[in-house]
Structures are given as structure tokens and as C-alpha cells.
Amino acid sequence: MREPRDVLKNVGHSLRTIPERYARIDALQLDYAILTLCANLEVSPSGYYDWQKRRPAPGPRAVENQTLAQQIEAVHVQSRQTYGSPRIVDTLRKQGCRHGRKRIARLMKAGSLYGRPQGRYRVRTTDRHHDQPIAPNRLAPAPKATGTNQLWVADITYIPTREGWLYLAAILDHYSRKIVGWAMSERSDTRLALTALDKALLHRKPPAHLRFHSDRGIQYASADYRRALSQAGLVALMSRQGNCYDNATMESSCTLKLELIYRHNFATRAQAHSRIFDYIETFYNRQRTHSASK
């Protein structure tokens, strides 16, 4: 069982009135001792018991809200505290619970449950200053992917640790939003990108003429990488300056930063590697709901 101080971290500051704190204690009393909850939320036990005696019996709507709030919290915990109201609505609907998004958002706010933090994502790993050939940009006029293994999107993400940078090269299937190949290294070079490509080719065995989209970095424009794409029968596409993703967003890269990297201060590269492995293989590819079809 989680410690009350972990569950109630920063909650006390958001519950401004005493009745709000009493209500929160009431919601958690089956999991924790009332005296412990009162101490953490800085209210007196006698005041809480008086409030319980004075309050009217909850109506059907209030009882339903209590049950729904518990379901919401369970989904939020299962998502590693990353789901906002839209994905919680989708998850609950798959479980047969159909409630409006506004209602769920309101209950999440009351329970101090929030999705991933918002932030602007900037690419800093692309080295475009090279004399290697640039693949044409055929993505915009091409039809959208209607199934898996039609369009892959490659990207390199940097992860800060107190030991130094760790780099993640990942390849995303644009239709399923699943990461089909990835690798990590202390160096952001062609070898790193090739390792991720080799894994994707091994696991997926894609058909010829699969479109392969990347930025214009030296890792993807190098002779070795172009040769590997050609031997696999993949068609290279590259972004143009000022529009690095051409709407084929490398969703996993941004999501990884918002849901994992920005939330942790990694001491070592090994620690970061372990957490990223768990995020990709246990959560992102297997559990997390995505905006596209599976």
C-alpha cells in the first residue's frame, strides 16, 4: 500500500477549504487510518467526525460519483499517472462505463489527478550541416497509411543524466504508433541509428517499398544508412527545413519526454536505460492507448 504522504503529496495545497479536506479523508478512509489522514491534511479528527454527523446522506448521484472516482483513480494509476481525461474516458468506455468527458475531468480535478505535463518539444539532435544526399520529400502528397508496415518514422531523442547524455534512436510505425525498433547509446551516430533499423527489420520483416521518413540528420543521410535502406527495399523520405516532421510526427519521442524524461532526474545512463526499456516494452507498446488504430 502506498504511503499517505505519497498519495497526498501537494494535495493539501489544492484543497483550500476544510470541508474539501474532510471529503478527501472520507474518500480515502478505507485505505488509510483516519488519524493518519487527518494529520497529513492538517485537520482535527474531532472536526472531521463532527462534519460526518452534520452532512446529509449522499444521494444516488453522489454515490455514483464516488464509484466513478475510484474507477478513474485506478485507470490513472495503471497509466503511470500519464492519462488525462480523454484517454481515461476511452479506457472506461472499453470497460463498459459511459460517462461524459466533462464529468470525468471534474472528478479528476477534485481528486487532484492530472495527465502528463504539457511542454513544447524541440529537436536538438539533428545535424543538417553535411554534404550527403538528401532524400526527396514524398510524404505530403502520398496517401496516409491504412495499415501497419506502410510508413515508418525515425527519430533520435536525447536524454540528460548526471553522467552525461544518453541517446535513443527509435522507429515508429505511423499507423499503429508502436515503436518497432529502438536502440540506446552514449553517441548519436550512424551506428546507433542502424542498430534501431536492424531491430525493426528483424522484428517486423516489412514489405518492399515501405516508406521510411526521417529528418535530414547525418545519421540518416550517411552512405551506410542509405545502403541499409536500399538493401531492405525501403523508400527514404526526408523532412524539409522548417517542417521537420511534415505531419508524420514522431509521437513516441515527444510522448517519452513528457511522460518519462521530464518527470525524472536520472543519476546514471544505466538507470535511464532501465527506465526507458520498461516504459517502451512494458507500457508504451503494450498498454498505452494511442491516437491511431492498433
Q: Which of 13-27, 143-157, 158-172, 232-246 has the highest mean pLDDT?
A: 158-172
Reduce the DSSP state of residue 79 to 3 states and report it.
Answer: coil
Element holding 52 (H helix, E strand): helix 45-54
Number of other CB atoms surrounding residue 80 within 10 Å = 18
What lies within 8 Å, CB to CB, of 42 at 6+ separation is 12, 21
> In the predicted model, what is the mean pLDDT of residues 149-157?
91
Q: Please state, for a pLDDT cut of 70, what percent of the chain lies above it.
A: 77
Residues 175-212 have pLDDT tens digits of 888 899 999 999 999 999 999 999 999 999 999 889 99
- Indicate whether this model's pTM tops 0.85: no
Reduce the DSSP state of residue 214 to 3 states and report it.
Answer: strand
Domain ranges of the chain: 4-110, 151-284
- Fold classification of 151-284 is Nucleotidyltransferase; domain 5 (3.30.420)
Assess whether pLDDT exceeds 70 at residue 290.
no
Backbone angles phi, psi at 125, to 5 degrees: -100, -5
Residues 80-115 have pLDDT tens digits of 777 888 888 888 888 888 888 888 888 888 888 877
CB 200 within 8 A of CB 211: no
